[in-house]
Amino acid sequence: MLSLIFILEIFLSLTIVRGDDCACATTNVHIRESAGTNSAILATLRNQHCVQFNGQRQTVDGTSWVNVIYNGKNGWIHEAYVTISSCITHAPTNLQQLQLSGCPNIITRAEWGARAPTQYAGRLPATPKYMFLHHGASSPCFTKDKCIDKVQGYQNWHMDGHGWNDIGYSFVVGEDGNVYEGRGWDTIGAHTKHYNTVGLAICVIGDFTDHVPNQAALDAVQKLIACGAANNKLVANYTLLGHRDVGSTACPGTAYYNLIQTWPHYNL
Domain holding 116: CATH number?
A: 3.40.80.10
Q: Which residues constitute the domain of residue 46?
A: 14-96
Percent of the chain with pLDDT over 70: 87
> What average pLDDT does range 140-161 have in this prediction?
97
Confidence at residue 9, expressed as pLDDT on a 0 to 100 scale:
41
In terms of C-beta density within 10 A (0-12 exposed, 13-18 middle, 19 or more buried), how is residue 210 classed?
A: exposed
Residue 203 to residue 200: CA distance in whole angstroms: 10
Per-residue confidence (pLDDT) for residue 188, from 0 to 100: 94
| Lowest-confidence segment of 12-16, 33-37, 215-219, 263-267 by average pLDDT | 12-16
- 129 and 32 inside one domain: no
Residue 162 domain flag: yes
Q: How many domains does the chain have?
A: 2
Predicted confidence at residue 123, as pLDDT, reads 85
Residue 107: beta bridge partners? 180
List, for residues 106-130, the tens digit of each pLDDT value: 999 989 999 888 887 888 999 999 9
Percent of all residues in the chain with a pLDDT value above 90, rounded to a whole number: 65
Answer yes or no: is 266 within a domain: no
Which pLDDT band, with edges at 50, 70 and 90, does 27 fall under?
Answer: confident
Q: 35 with 87, same domain?
A: yes
